[in-house]
Amino acid sequence: MPILQNSVRIVSNRRLAQDHYRLRLERPRSFPEIEAGQFVQLRLEEGWDPFLPRPLCLYEHSRLWMDVVYQVVGRGTAILSKKKAGASVGVLGPLGLGFPILLDGDTYVFVAGGVGIASLYLAAKELVRQVKGRARFILLFGLKSVGMLHCHQDFRELGFELRIATDDGSYGKKGYVTGLVEQLFEKEQLGRVWVYACGPRPMFLALTGILPRFGQDAYLSLDEHMACGVGVCLGCAVKTVRGNGDPYRLVCKEGPVFKMSEIDWESKK
Ligand SMILES: Cc1cc2nc3c(=O)[nH]c(=O)nc-3n(C[C@H](O)[C@H](O)[C@H](O)COP(=O)(O)OP(=O)(O)OC[C@H]3O[C@@H](n4cnc5c(N)ncnc54)[C@H](O)[C@@H]3O)c2cc1C
Ligand code: FES
């Protein structure tokens, strides 16, 4: 069961790269166990403005603290980036159903688009803890430009092979991360593969055009606009291809992680 804590102290709020920050919060004693890929809803101010809390994935945690990594994209994240250690925010969480931890892979391919990397790290850490030495771990990371590079070293330290693409060619291969995905599956023998991915919608749409050619599915963490975060407002519904009854699923409660093959991508173009 998630808990709501109106005032959680900020331990630090550190800039990682252009427009990217890592926020460390004091972990409330009663905060439940966290699963890889779960998120929190952060209420940024005590008043009504901004009215809606902002969903952010939990990046890493200990008994005493929990971190989120976020990109400043609008008003809420800009307000958050100005907060200093000692200030506080409201926290509702942990929310959603995270990534399955599948232990029978020969190769684990993580595909991250921009700040999507933030939702993948806990799954990466847990998989490495459980299957290291028996499997290969690869991070394919795409971002706009080298100035936005962040979090990749954490994956390197876990033992991941890193392949990076930038839109402007300022680091790694020029182009989108999906080019790296295509190249990997075309050129290498990977055995049994599990793909974990998070990024913007165009990245997911491109993956739906690439992975099925190799008989490959993926677990995706979807990024939908959210209001309540707990399955009440129905604002985050996504259409699936499930045959029986209502095809809609709530990203906040039944996700954010879904199998790529479960989503009705035609309804999302
Ligand atoms: C389950 C979940 C986990 C997330 N985890 C992270 C994370 O770990 N780190 C991170 O940086 N971001 C994450 N996001 C996205 C993050 O919630 C939004 O970027 C944030 O709410 C934007 O708030 P804002 O007030 O700064 O922007 P706004 O002023 O509300 O919007 C600015 C721009 O961002 C777009 N936007 C707003 N919310 C979303 C959204 N949910 N998805 C896509 N576009 C959006 C708006 O359409 C607009 O173009 C997550 C989203 C979800 C649903
Ligand atoms: S955000 Fe309200 S139901 Fe999902």
Give tens-digit pLDDT for 34-76. 999 999 999 987 666 677 889 999 999 999 999 999 999 999 9
- HSE of 151, CA atoms in CB hemisphere, 13 A: 30
**Model pLDDT for residues 193-211, shown as the tens digit of each residue:** 999 999 999 999 999 999 9
Ligand nearest to the CA of 93: 1
**Model pLDDT for residues 247-257, shown as the tens digit of each residue:** 999 999 999 99
Report CA Rg, the chain.
18
Which CATH code of 1.20.1440.120, 2.60.40.10, 2.170.150.70, 2.10.240.10 fits the domain covering 223-269? 2.10.240.10
Identify the residues whose C-beta falls under 6 Å from ligand 1.
39, 54-57, 68-71, 73-77, 115, 118-119, 223-226, 256
- What is the arithmetic mean of pLDDT over 112-132? 96
Confidence (pLDDT) at 49: 65
**Model pLDDT for residues 176-187, shown as the tens digit of each residue:** 999 999 999 999
* Close Cβ partners of 212 (under 8 Å, ≥ 6 residues apart): 261
Average confidence score pLDDT of the chain: 94
Confidence (pLDDT) at 19: 97
Which ligand 2 atom lies nearest to the CA of residue 237? Answer: 4
Instruction: Work out the percent of the chain whose per-residue pLDDT is above 70.
Output: 97
- What is the arithmetic mean of pLDDT over 129-146? 95
Q: Specify the 3-state DSSP secondary structure of 27.
A: coil
Amino acid at 126: E
Superfamily for domain range 3-95: Translation factors (2.40.30.10)
For residue 73, how many other CB atoms are within 10 A of its CB? Answer: 12
Confidence (pLDDT) at 46: 65
Beta sheet of 107-113, edge-to-edge order: 173-174, 161-166, 136-143, 107-113, 193-198, 219-221, 257-259
Confidence (pLDDT) at 132: 83
Cα–ligand 1 centroid distance for 74 (angstroms): 8
Which ligand 1 atom lies nearest to the CA of residue 55? Answer: 17
**Model pLDDT for residues 7-43, shown as the tens digit of each residue:** 999 999 999 999 999 999 999 999 999 999 999 999 9
For residue 126, how many other CB atoms are within 10 A of its CB? Answer: 16
CATH fold of the domain at 99-221: Rossmann fold (3.40.50)
- What is the arithmetic mean of pLDDT over 145-172? 97
pLDDT at 151 over 80: yes
- What is the arithmetic mean of pLDDT over 146-150? 96
Residue 219 pLDDT grade (very low, low, confident, very high; cuts 50, 70, 90): very high
- What is the arithmetic mean of pLDDT over 75-95? 94
What are the residue boundaries of the structural domains of the chain, listed by start? 3-95, 99-221, 223-269
